[in-house]
Amino acid sequence: MNPILAASVKAKRGRGAYNKIPVFGILERDGFVKVEVVKDVSADTLLNLTIKTVRRGSIVYTDKFRSYDALMCCGYRHLKVDHKKQFSNGKVYINGLEGFWSYAKERLIKYHGVSKEKFSLYLKEMEFRYNHGNKDIFHEVSKYLVTLVPDLL
């Protein structure tokens, strides 16, 4: 076996990588992140989630993934950044959402893999922690639980 050849062969990464769970993520500038496991990353799936999440007429920033191309036809101003050329173009960047993916991966890697059945729960935990990162997490969870079972008080 040629060690140089073995070292240069990598598994496919990113979109379309084998055995990956597709995830939709959106981040409002200076706001909250929202993530969700999806069945696929087709234009229909991403467009429907965007319509449910984002007010029409808003500016939506994305990378150049083709499934986002239909956004302009649905009442959004769609600005793209081509990561092959640059990571930002003035105010056109998606670094905030990229930061969330980095945050989530950093925390999930310690588990050395998460089951497909529980992945969405871990992902929602990462969403909650990211959105409430500067607050006391115990207080935030307690506040949330009280809203679920107000009769216990």
Contact between residue 75 and residue 4 where contact means Cβ atoms under 8 Å apart: no
Complete domains list, the chain, with CATH = 15-144 (3.30.420)
- Compute the average pLDDT of residues 36-45: 89
Four-residue CA torsion sign, 91, 66, 34, 13: negative
- Compute the average pLDDT of residues 54-74: 80
Confidence (pLDDT) at 19: 72
| pLDDT tens track for 81-136 | 765 666 656 666 567 788 888 889 898 888 888 888 999 999 999 999 888 887 78
Confidence (pLDDT) at 135: 79
